[in-house]
C-alpha cells in the first residue's frame, strides 16, 4: 500500500512539474517550441504557425528555402503535443496554444477536404510545391490527427470550437472512402505483398498517422463509418508486416512498398491504440510482433535510417533523428497500455535514452534546460546542432508521454556497454552511472524476448561468460 502511494505521489509530481514552459525539475520544456511559434493574421483570422527551421548557435527563425516559413506538418504535430500536455496537466496555456495552431490547420484545408502544407513569408499559401501541393497525403493525415484529438478533448468543454473541428474532419471522409474502393487489392513486388488501399497505395507510415486521428475521433463518437475505416486501414498495415522474432525482417511493418524507414513509422503505436479501443487481439499482436522482433534489435544493434527489405545490403544507418525515436518510444508506451506488460515501458525508456546520449556518438541530443533537440546525428562523426520544429516537437511528444510512467524515466540515462551474438542469443547490456544494469536479449532458440534488470541481468551475463 505504501509502495502504491509513493508511486502515485511521484506520478502526480511529474505531471505538476510539466505545467509551465520551463518545467522546473522536469524533462519536458516547451520554451524552444514557444520560441518557434508566431501568431499571425491569416485568411481573416488570428492563428499560430511554427517556424520550420532554427539554426545554431543563435536559433533564430530560418526560412525553408522555396517551401516557405511554416507548414501544417509541424503545426499539426505541435497541436497534438499541446493537447496532450493540457490533457495530462490541465495547463490552460497549452490548450490556448493548441487551439491557435488548430485554426491554422483548418485554414489550410480546402473546401473538399484536401490540404496544402506550406505558407510563404508573405503568408500566402504554397499551392504548387512538391511538399505543399493540394492533396490528401502526409499533411492531410496530420491535420486529421490533430483535429480529431482536439475534438475529443474539446467536445464537452468548448462545443462551438469542437463542432468546427468536427466539420473539418468529416469533410475528409470521402477521400478515405476513395482509398477503400481498393480494399483487398494486393499486388506483389519482389515477393512482398503490398495493399493498394493505403495512402499513396502503399504508405503504411503516413496511414498510421491518419489512423491515430481516426482512433481519436471514433473514441469520442463511436461512428460506425469511422470504425470501418480503422479496421480496414489497420488491416492494410498488417499486410505490410513480415517476419518474426527469428526470421528477417523480424516483424517490422514496412513503410511503403518494400522499403522500411525508422522516421514516422507509427504502425505499432496506431495498432496498439486501435487494438485496445476495438478489443482486437490481432492488432495488438501485430504491434507486439514488431516490438519484440524488431524494436528489440534496434535497441540491441542501434538505430538505422532505412533499408529495402528485399535487399538488406542497401541499409542506411544515417541520418538519425528525433522523428525516428519518437514513434518507437510512444508505440511501446501504447503497447504497454494495451497489454500491461512492463517490459514495454522498460524498452520505451531505453529507446528514448537516445535523446540523452545512448546513441552512436554518445551525444546528448535533447537539452531539458532549453527544450532544444538537435536535428540529427548526421553521420558517424557529426551532429547537426540546429533545432527545427520537427526535432523539438518529436522530442517533446516522446517525453510528454514518458514522464507519466516513472519506470520509463528510470532507463533514460542508461548506456549500451556491450553487444554480442552467440549461437542462441542476440543481446545487449545497458548500464548507468550507478552501475545498475539491464539486458535486452532475443532467445533465438525459444523465440523469446528477455528484458532483464538488476540481479536477473547479472545472472544472465554471468551464465553467458561461463559458457563462452
Q: Is the pLDDT of residue 408 over 50?
A: yes
Nearest to 28 by CA among 96, 74, 82: 82
Which CA distances in Å does 239 have to 162, 255, 338? 35, 11, 21
364 and 450 housed in the same domain: no
CATH number reported for the structural domain that contains residue 23 in this entry:
1.50.10.10
What count of Cα atoms within 13 Å lies in the side-chain half-sphere of residue 282?
A: 10
282 and 265 housed in the same domain: yes
What count of Cα atoms within 13 Å lies in the side-chain half-sphere of residue 265?
A: 28
pLDDT one-digit tens code per residue, 341-373:
999 999 999 999 999 999 999 999 999 999 999
Which CA distances in Å does 120 have to 49, 64, 125? 11, 9, 6
Phi, psi of 238, deg, nearest 5:
-70, -30
Q: Where among 392, 414, 436 does a domain terminate?
A: 414
pLDDT one-digit tens code per residue, 25-64:
489 999 999 999 999 999 999 999 999 999 999 999 998 7
What's the rounded mean pLDDT across residues 125-135?
A: 96
Q: How many CB atoms lie within 10 A of CB 178?
A: 11
355 and 423 housed in the same domain: no
Is the separation of the CB atoms in 42 and 104 below 8 Å? yes
374 and 419 housed in the same domain: no
Phi, psi of 150, deg, nearest 5:
-60, -40
241 and 348 housed in the same domain: yes
Number of domains in the chain: 2
Task: Specify the pLDDT at position 16.
Answer: 42
State how far the Cα of 172 lies from the Cα of 143, in Å rounded to an integer. Answer: 10
State how far the Cα of 364 lies from the Cα of 375, in Å rounded to an integer. Answer: 12
What's the rounded mean pLDDT across residues 299-303?
A: 95
42 and 18 housed in the same domain: yes
Which cell numbers in the block locate residue 94?
A: 497549452
State how far the Cα of 13 lies from the Cα of 312, in Å rounded to an integer. Answer: 46
308 and 322 housed in the same domain: yes
343 and 396 housed in the same domain: yes
Q: Is the pLDDT of residue 257 over 70?
A: yes
Task: Specify the pLDDT at position 468.
Answer: 62
Is this prediction's pTM over 0.85? Answer: yes
Which of the four pLDDT bands, split at 50, 70 and 90, describes residue 197?
very high
Q: How far apart are the first and last CA of the chain?
A: 44
Q: Is the pLDDT of residue 14 over 70?
A: no
In the chain, what percentage of residues exceed pLDDT 90?
91
Which cell numbers in the block locate residue 192?
A: 512482398
Q: Is the pLDDT of residue 201 over 80?
A: yes
Q: Dihedral of the CA atoms 182, 188, 189, 195 (nearest 10)?
A: 30
Q: Where among 391, 414, 437 does a domain terminate?
A: 414
Which of the four pLDDT bands, split at 50, 70 and 90, describes residue 100?
very high
Nearest to 163 by CA among 106, 222, 227: 106
46 and 192 housed in the same domain: yes
Strand partners, 159: none
| Cell 489550410 belongs to residue | 108
pLDDT one-digit tens code per residue, 172-187:
999 999 999 999 999 9
Is the separation of the CB atoms in 244 and 267 below 8 Å? no
Task: Specify the pLDDT at position 215.
Answer: 98
State how far the Cα of 211 lies from the Cα of 217, in Å rounded to an integer. Answer: 10
State how far the Cα of 48 lies from the Cα of 97, in Å rounded to an integer. Answer: 8
409 and 464 housed in the same domain: no
What's the rounded mean pLDDT across residues 243-260?
A: 97
Which cell numbers in the block locate residue 93?
A: 496555456
State how far the Cα of 33 lies from the Cα of 105, in Å rounded to an integer. Answer: 17
Q: Where among 414, 438, 454 does a domain terminate?
A: 414
Q: Which residues form the domain of 367?
A: 2-414
pLDDT one-digit tens code per residue, 306-332:
999 999 778 999 999 999 999 999 999
Query: What are all long-range contacts of 87-95, with beta carbons under 8 Å and residues at least 24 apart?
Result: 87/153, 88/15, 88/18, 88/400, 88/404, 89/15, 89/16, 89/18, 89/19, 90/19, 91/18, 91/19, 91/20, 93/21, 94/30, 95/153
Q: Is the pLDDT of residue 236 over 70?
A: yes
Task: Specify the pLDDT at position 21.
Answer: 61
67 and 165 housed in the same domain: yes
Is the separation of the CB atoms in 365 and 426 below 8 Å? no
State how far the Cα of 83 lies from the Cα of 89, in Å rounded to an integer. Answer: 10
Task: Specify the pLDDT at position 465.
Answer: 73
294 and 382 housed in the same domain: yes
Amino acid at each position: 500500500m505504501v509502495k502504491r502511494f509513493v508511486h502515485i505521489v511521484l506520478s502526480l509530481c511529474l505531471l505538476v512539474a510539466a505545467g509551465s514552459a520551463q518545467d522546473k525539475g522536469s524533462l519536458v520544456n516547451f520554451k524552444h517550441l514557444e520560441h518557434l511559434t508566431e501568431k499571425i493574421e491569416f485568411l481573416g483570422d488570428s492563428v499560430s504557425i511554427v517556424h520550420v527551421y532554427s539554426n545554431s548557435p543563435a536559433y533564430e527563425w530560418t526560412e525553408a528555402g522555396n517551401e516557405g516559413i511554416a507548414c501544417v506538418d509541424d503545426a499539426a504535430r505541435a497541436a497534438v503535443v499541446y493537447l496532450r500536455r493540457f490533457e495530462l496537466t490541465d495547463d490552460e496555456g497549452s490548450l490556448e496554444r493548441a487551439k491557435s495552431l488548430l485554426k491554422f490547420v483548418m485554414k489550410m484545408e480546402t473546401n473538399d477536404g484536401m490540404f496544402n502544407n506550406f505558407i510563404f513569408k508573405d503568408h500566402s499559401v504554397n499551392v504548387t510545391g512538391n511538399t505543399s501541393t493540394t492533396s490528401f497525403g502526409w499533411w492531410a493525415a496530420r491535420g486529421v490527427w490533430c483535429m480529431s484529438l482536439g475534438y475529443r478533448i474539446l467536445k464537452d468543454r468548448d462545443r462551438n470550437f469542437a463542432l468546427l473541428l468536427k466539420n473539418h474532419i468529416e469533410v475528409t471522409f470521402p477521400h478515405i472512402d476513395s482509398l477503400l474502393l481498393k480494399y483487398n487489392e494486393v499486388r506483389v513486388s519482389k515477393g512482398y505483398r503490398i495493399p493498394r488501399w493505403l495512402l499513396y497505395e502503399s504508405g503504411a507510415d503516413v496511414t498510421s498517422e491518419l489512423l491515430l486521428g481516426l482512433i481519436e475521433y471514433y473514441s469520442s463518437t463511436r461512428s460506425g463509418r469511422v470504425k470501418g475505416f480503422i479496421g480496414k486501414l489497420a488491416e492494410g498495415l498488417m499486410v505490410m508486416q513480415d517476419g518474426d522474432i527469428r526470421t528477417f525482417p523480424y516483424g517490422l511493418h514496412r513503410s511503403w512498398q518494400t522499403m522500411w524507414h525508422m522516421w514516422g513509422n507509427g504502425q505499432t503505436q496506431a495498432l496498439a491504440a486501435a487494438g485496445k479501443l476495438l478489443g482486437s487481439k490481432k492488432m495488438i499482436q501485430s504491434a507486439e510482433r514488431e516490438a519484440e522482433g524488431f524494436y528489440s534489435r534496434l535497441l540491441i544493434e542501434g538505430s538505422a535510417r532505412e533499408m529495402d527489405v528485399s535487399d538488406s545490403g542497401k541499409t542506411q544507418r544515417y541520418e538519425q533523428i528525433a522523428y525516428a525515436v519518437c514513434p518507437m518510444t510512444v508505440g511501446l508506451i501504447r503497447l504497454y497500455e494495451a497489454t500491461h506488460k512492463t517490459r514495454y515501458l522498460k524498452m520505451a525508456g531505453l529507446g528514448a535514452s537516445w535523446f540523452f546520449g545512448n546513441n552512436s556518438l554518445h551525444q546528448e541530443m535533447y537539452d531539458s534546460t532549453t527544450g532544444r533537440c538537435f536535428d540529427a546525428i548526421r553521420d558517424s562523426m557529426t551532429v547537426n546542432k540546429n533545432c527545427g520544429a520537427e526535432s523539438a516537437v518529436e522530442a517533446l511528444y516522446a517525453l510528454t508521454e514518458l514522464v507519466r510512467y516513472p519506470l520509463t524515466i528510470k532507463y533514460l540515462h542508461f548506456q549500451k556497454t556491450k553487444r554480442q551474438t552467440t549461437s542462441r542469443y542476440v543481446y545487449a547490456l545497458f548500464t548507468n552511472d550507478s552501475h545498475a544494469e539491464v539486458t535486452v536479449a532475443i532467445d533465438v532458440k525459444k523465440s523469446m524476448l528477455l528484458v532483464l534488470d538488476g540481479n536477473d541481468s547479472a545472472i544472465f551475463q554471468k551464465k553467458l561468460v561461463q559458457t563462452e
